[in-house]
C-alpha cells in the first residue's frame, strides 16, 4: 500500500507540468468540473492543484474510539495519470488521519480509468495502516478531516 501511495504521489507530481490549460483559479475549476464531472454536487471540495481536485465523501468523516478520523476522499484528475502501468482519471480512497500526529494512512484505494469514478481498473486494501507524515498532497485533506471532528460537523455541512 505504501508503494501505491508513493507511486500515486509521484505520478501526480510528474504530471503536474504537462498541460497549460489546467484550472488555476476557483472559477476555472468550477468550469472544468461542470464540463467534465457529474454527480459531485454532494462531494465538498477540499482542494486542488495542478494535477486535479480532491473531494470529501458526502458521508463525512468519523471519529473512531482510538481518536483516529476516517473518511473517504475522491480525486478527479485533469489529465490521465499512470500508476503501476495503469492509466487512471479518478480514484477514491479510505483515509485514516491522526490529527495530533499530523499523519495519515490510506486504508484502501480504488482506481478508475475515467473521471466520475467509472471503469474501475484496480483496487487495493492495506493489511495494516502505513502511516505517512503530512505532505503537500495530504495537507488539505488532513486539515479538513481534523477540523470536521474538532468542530463536531460533517465535512458537507454548511458553515455557520
> Is 159 contained in some domain?
no
> Is 155 contained in some domain?
no
pLDDT of residue 114: 97
Q: Which residues of 8-18 are buried (b: 16+ CB within 10 A; e: fewer)?
A: bbebbeebeee
Give me the domain span that covers residue 124: 2-39+56-150
> Is 68 contained in some domain?
yes
Q: In the chain, how many domains are there? A: 1
> Is 44 contained in some domain?
no
55 bridge partner residues: 45, 74
pLDDT of residue 136: 85
> Is 100 contained in some domain?
yes
> DSSP secondary structure string, 20-45?
TTS--SHHHHHHHHHHH--S-TTS-E
Q: Are 68 and 100 in contact (CB under 8 A)?
A: no
CATH classification at residue 140: 2.40.128
pLDDT of residue 11: 39
Return the percent helix, strand and coil in the chain, to nearest 5.
25, 40, 40
pLDDT tens figures, 109-122? 999 999 999 999 99
Q: For residue 63, give every residue at least 6 positions away whose Cβ sits within 8 Å of its Cβ, in sequence order, or none.
A: 69, 149
Q: Which regions of the chain are under pLDDT 70? A: 1-20, 153-160
pLDDT of residue 2: 37
> Is 157 contained in some domain?
no
Amino acid at each position: 500500500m505504501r508503494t501505491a501511495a508513493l507511486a500515486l504521489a509521484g505520478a501526480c507530481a510528474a504530471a503536474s507540468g504537462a498541460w497549460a490549460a489546467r484550472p488555476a483559479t476557483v472559477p476555472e475549476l468550477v468550469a472544468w468540473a461542470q464540463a467534465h464531472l457529474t454527480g459531485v454536487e454532494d462531494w465538498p471540495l477540499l482542494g486542488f492543484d495542478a494535477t486535479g481536485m480532491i473531494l470529501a465523501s458526502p458521508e463525512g468523516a468519523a471519529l473512531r474510539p482510538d481518536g483516529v478520523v476516517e473518511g473517504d476522499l475522491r480525486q478527479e484528475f485533469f489529465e490521465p495519470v499512470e500508476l503501476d502501468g495503469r492509466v487512471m482519471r479518478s480514484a477514491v480512497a479510505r483515509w485514516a488521519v491522526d490529527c495530533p500526529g499530523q499523519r495519515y494512512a490510506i486504508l484502501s484505494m480504488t482506481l478508475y480509468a475515467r473521471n466520475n469514478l467509472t471503469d474501475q481498473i484496480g483496487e487495493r486494501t492495506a493489511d495494516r495502516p502505513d502511516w505517512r507524515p503530512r505532505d503537500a498532497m495530504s495537507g488539505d485533506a488532513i486539515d479538513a478531516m481534523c477540523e470536521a471532528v474538532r468542530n463536531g460537523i460533517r465535512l458537507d455541512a454548511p458553515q455557520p
